[in-house]
């Protein structure tokens, strides 16, 4: 009995956040293990011979057999998986058959381009999507609400590659308002040092304002298109969350007390609607960070999406699986971040945890 009381006392002495943190870390660990298990077995069931990719299809059988053993394919499947886990935990995703470089180096090279494009897109989507969603909710059923919903519907239904091609034809080929495909014109490519991989940041920090304007001209259209897609989803969810909040009793009470309508909408209702909206924005950002494949292809944007597309076309399964693992990690990380922000914004969640 005394030992039980002592154990209970020790559990009570732990800070409240320790059990919650342990549960979160356990969930992340299990999810990551499942992700690595899935990516590993996908690589084994795809009808692509990794030995042929390494040595070619004209190598003699002796070379094939030696390479087969060097790649560890002669070992039992469970042992191959353990080796794969050990390599991943050491940051080794293997070498790309296409570029002959470590995949982690390839991803580190192309990911800043996707990060920059996705950040511009999510900023545009959030800055326009949240106010439009609030505006539509306040004017539910009116013309303004219908317009916002139609604009969002177009964002959902219009193919991104079609919008991209139309945008290039109109704003680049005809009006010359923006830069063309790629991240920067070749005439500005060597006018600044690419330190972080984020060209907007590098050019601004180095005071190369002509190059900065050129980079802005190139990212404006693809960033706006991704921002439009994000805005369509964020505005729809903002409208839904705001309608739910505006129907609550505390809103009626605030109106009876004479609280100004602007304060009721933009402070009381939006503050509560922002709690679930954080998750929506985080997952939208994760979707852009995984590599907007069609957008990057149309605009020749050298990011993660284009790298993944090229790897798929060349059957470079090492690179495909490495990208899949990175994308899954991004989703898990941003989902975890949104949960933490959710807990910070809503005291009721902290009390439940």
66-114 pLDDT, tens digit per residue, is 877 877 777 888 888 888 888 888 888 888 877 888 889 999 999 999 9
Contact between 305 and 330 (Cβ < 8 Å) = no
Distance from chain centroid for Cα 86: 26
> To the nearest whole number, what is the mean pLDDT of the chain?
82
27 phi, psi to nearest 5 deg? -65, -45
Alpha-carbon torsion (58, 59, 60, 62), positive or negative: negative
Distance from chain centroid for Cα 97: 26
pLDDT at 17 over 60: no
How much is the average pLDDT of 48-54?
72
Give SS3 for 204.
helix
pLDDT at 291 over 60: no
pTM of the model: 0.82
CA distance 262 to 330: 37
CA distance 197 to 202: 8
pLDDT for position 350: 52
pLDDT for position 59: 74
pLDDT for position 289: 80
**Measured at the alpha carbon of residue 337, what is the angle toward residues 280 and 301, in degrees to the nearest 5?**
70
Q: Highest mean pLDDT range out of 40-44, 178-182, 202-206, 261-265?
A: 202-206
Q: Highest mean pLDDT range out of 31-40, 259-268, 310-319, 343-352?
A: 259-268
Percent of residues, the chain, with pLDDT higher than 90: 19
pLDDT for position 234: 92
Name the band, by pLDDT with cuts 50, 70 and 90, for residue 321.
confident
Pick the residue with more confidence: 295 or 2? 295
In eight-state DSSP terms, residue 207 is T
* Partners of residue 102 on adjacent β-strands: 95
Q: pLDDT tens for residues 156-201? A: 788 888 888 898 898 888 888 888 888 898 888 888 888 888 999 9
Half-sphere exposure of 299 (CA within 13 A, CB side): 37
How much is the average pLDDT of 118-147?
91
Cα end-to-end distance, the chain, whole Å: 28
Say which residues have a Cβ less than 8 Å from residue 306's Cβ, sequence separation at least 6.
110, 291, 293, 296, 297, 300
For residue 172, which of 182, 185, 184, 181 has the smallest C-alpha distance? 181
* Domains of the chain, first to last: 49-88 (no CATH), 113-352 (1.10.3720.10)
pLDDT for position 13: 53
Name the band, by pLDDT with cuts 50, 70 and 90, for residue 216.
very high
pLDDT for position 221: 92
Pick the residue with more confidence: 338 or 119? 119
Per-residue CA distances from 190 to 13, 185, 208, 211 (Å): 59, 10, 11, 10
CA distance 303 to 199: 13
CA distance 240 to 265: 14
Name the band, by pLDDT with cuts 50, 70 and 90, for residue 125.
very high
């Amino acid at each position: 009995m005394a030992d039980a009381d002592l154990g209970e006392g020790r559990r009570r002495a732990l800070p409240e956040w320790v059990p919650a943190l342990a549960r979160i870390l356990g969930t992340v660990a299990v999810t990551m293990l499942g992700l690595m298990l899935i990516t590993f077995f996908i690589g084994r069931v795809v009808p692509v011979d990794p030995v042929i990719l390494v040595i070619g299809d004209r190598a003699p059988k002796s070379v094939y057999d030696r390479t087969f053993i060097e790649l560890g394919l002669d070992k039992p499947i469970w042992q191959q998986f353990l080796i794969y886990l050990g390599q991943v935990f050491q940051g080794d995703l293997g070498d790309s058959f296409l570029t002959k470089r470590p995949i982690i180096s390839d991803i580190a090279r192309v990911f800043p381009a996707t990060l920059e494009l996705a950040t511009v897109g999510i900023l545009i989507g959030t800055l326009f999507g949240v106010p439009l969603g609030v505006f539509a909710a306040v004017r539910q059923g009116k013309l303004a609400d219908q317009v916002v919903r139609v604009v969002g519907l177009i964002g959902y239904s219009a193919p991104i590659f079609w919008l991209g091609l139309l945008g290039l034809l109109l704003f680049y080929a005809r009006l010359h308002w923006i830069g063309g495909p790629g991240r920067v014109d070749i005439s500005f490519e060597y006018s600044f040092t690419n330190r972080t991989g984020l060209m907007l940041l590098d050019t601004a920090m180095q005071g190369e304002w002509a190059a900065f304007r050129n980079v802005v001209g190139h990212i404006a259209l693809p960033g706006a298109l991704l921002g439009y897609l994000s805005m369509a989803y964020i505005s729809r969810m903002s409208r839904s969350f705001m309608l739910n909040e505006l129907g609550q009793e505390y809103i009626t009470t605030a109106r009876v007390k004479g609280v100004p309508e602007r304060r009721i909408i933009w402070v009381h209702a939006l503050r509560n609607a922002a709690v679930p909206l954080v998750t929506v924005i985080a997952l939208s950002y994760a979707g852009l960070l995984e590599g907007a494949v069609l957008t990057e292809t149309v605009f020749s944007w050298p990011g993660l999406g284009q790298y993944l597309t090229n790897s798929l076309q060349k059957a470079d399964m090492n690179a495909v699986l490495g990208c899949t693992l990175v994308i899954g990690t991004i989703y898990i990380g941003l989902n975890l971040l949104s949960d933490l922000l959710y807990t910070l914004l809503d005291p009721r969640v902290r009390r439940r945890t």
